[in-house]
Amino acid sequence: MGLDRSSRKRLLELARQAITERLEDRPGAALEEVDRVIGADQGAFVTLRHKGRLRGCIGNFQCPGPLAGTVREMACAAAFDDPRFPPLASCRELAECDLEISCLSPLEETDPARVEVGRHGVYIIKGAHRGVLLPQVPVEQGWDRETFLDQTCLKAGLSPGCWKEPGTRVLTFEAEVFGEED
């Protein structure tokens, strides 16, 4: 991680461009040669906010291709495939949205007591249930560590406190988060 300002700007442009192309029913532009930083294989989440409210957020931890391509793919998924929201309908609606990108470190299994609010994102796995919350979420919500873990369980469709139960895996990751509002 450690993207410079121009790489961050370029990734945000690529995300917005990918959504615009889909709204206008145009084929996606081929990725030009990407530099070493945004060409690295890395997971990412893209978040859309419409007038400050969540409008879509989807990501992938592991992508077998360049970060630039992952960001384009996740931007479209957040805009059109997040089951919590209807698909984005127009370029006018997109113009009212702000984009945020979270570039992810690799996942690491950890003891829940080691989760640090504001530093770690959490990914909880129990059986077929999975839930993830990005590192910025508990800070935005004012949650402590236990509430953060409980809310990640709820996101996975599990009961609060399941992170304490045998068979529940708690994984953490870090994220470099930047957006158009920065």
Q: Which CATH number is 57's domain given? A: 3.30.700.20
pLDDT of residue 141: 95
- Decide if 100 contacts 178 (C-beta within 8 A): yes
What's the pTM? 0.87
| 179 part of a folded domain | no
Residues 6 or more apart whose Cβ sits within 8 Å of residue 116: 145
> Which of 82, 104, 126 is a domain's end point?
104
> Which of 104, 123, 144 is a domain's end point?
104
Residues 15 and 65 in one domain: yes
- Decide if 44 contacts 16 (C-beta within 8 A): no
pLDDT in tens, 151-176: 999 999 999 999 999 999 999 999 99
pLDDT of residue 146: 98
What's the token pair of residue 54? 């969540």
> Which of 55, 81, 104 is a domain's end point?
104
Q: Which CATH number is 133's domain given? A: 3.30.1490.150
pLDDT in tens, 134-148: 999 999 999 999 999
SS3 content of the chain, % helix, strand, coil (to 5): 35, 25, 40
| 182 part of a folded domain | no
pLDDT in tens, 58-115: 999 877 778 888 999 999 999 999 999 999 999 999 999 999 999 999 999 999 999 9
| 23 part of a folded domain | yes
Provide the pLDDT confidence category of residue 130 given band limits of 50, 70 and 90: very high
Looking at the chain, the whole-number percentage of residues with pLDDT higher than 90 is: 77
Higher pLDDT, 20 or 26: 20
Please give the C-alpha separations between residue 61 and each of 41, 67, 98, 103, 157, in angstroms, as whole numbers: 10, 11, 22, 9, 20
Nearest one of 74, 83, 30, 9 to 48, comparing CA atoms: 74
pLDDT of residue 164: 97
Residues 114 and 152 in one domain: yes
What's the token pair of residue 166? 């045998």
Residues 30 and 52 in one domain: yes
What's the token pair of residue 74? 């996740």
β-strand 44-50 against 97-104: which pairing, if any? antiparallel
Count of helices and strands (H, E) across the chain = 5, 8
By residue range, what is the domain housing residue 133?
108-174
What phi, psi does 78 have (nearest 5°)? Answer: -65, -35
**pLDDT above 80: residue 43:** yes
Provide the pLDDT confidence category of residue 32 given band limits of 50, 70 and 90: low
pLDDT of residue 30: 58
41-75 exposure pattern, b = at least 16 Cβ within 10 A, e = fewer: ebbbbbbbbeeeeebbbbbebebeebbbbbbbbbb
CA-to-CA distance for 40 and 38, rounded, in angstroms?
Answer: 6
Domain count across the chain: 2
